[in-house]
């Protein structure tokens, strides 16, 4: 990893530290996560991609024939 030096207003940094404590993390981790999201590599996006990758081979679906019902049949009362 590369170190980055930032200049931040003291009051902004104070509030960021408080918020980080409330979230159980650090300002460093918040900035790192924000930059990862900004760059398009968020842990959430990676998690979603991993989920879809895992479910692709699960065999769940509508079967080889696809669905056999229509919307009207589902709501037929």
Predicted confidence (pLDDT) at residue 41 exceeds the cutoff of 70: no
Number of domains forming the structure of the chain:
1
Tabulate helix, strand, coil % of the chain (nearest 5): 55, 0, 45
- 61: which DSSP letter? S
Q: Is 61 a member of any domain? A: no
Residue 11 sits in which domain range? 1-54
Q: pLDDT, tens digit, for every residue of 50-75?
A: 788 777 766 666 666 777 777 787 78
14, 24 contact by CB (below 8 A): no
Q: In the prediction, which pLDDT does 28 show?
A: 93
Q: pLDDT, tens digit, for every residue of 2-35?
A: 898 999 999 999 999 999 999 999 999 999 988 8
Q: Is 66 a member of any domain? A: no
| Prediction pTM value | 0.52
Q: Is 65 a member of any domain? A: no
Q: Show contacts of 63-66: CB within 8 Å, 24+ apart.
A: none
33, 43 contact by CB (below 8 A): yes
Q: Is 19 a member of any domain? A: yes
Task: List all residues 6 or more positions away from 44 whose beta carbon is below 8 Å from its beta carbon.
Answer: 37
Q: In the prediction, which pLDDT does 48 show?
A: 80
Q: Is 31 a member of any domain? A: yes
């Amino acid at each position: 990893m590369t170190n980055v030096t930032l200049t931040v207003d003291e009051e902004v940094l104070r509030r960021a530290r408080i918020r980080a404590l409330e979230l159980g993390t650090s300002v460093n981790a918040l900035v790192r996560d924000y930059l990862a999201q900004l760059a398009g590599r968020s842990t959430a996006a990676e998690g979603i991609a991993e989920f879809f990758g895992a479910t692709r081979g699960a065999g769940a679906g509508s079967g080889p024939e696809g669905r056999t019902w229509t919307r009207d049949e589902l709501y037929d009362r």
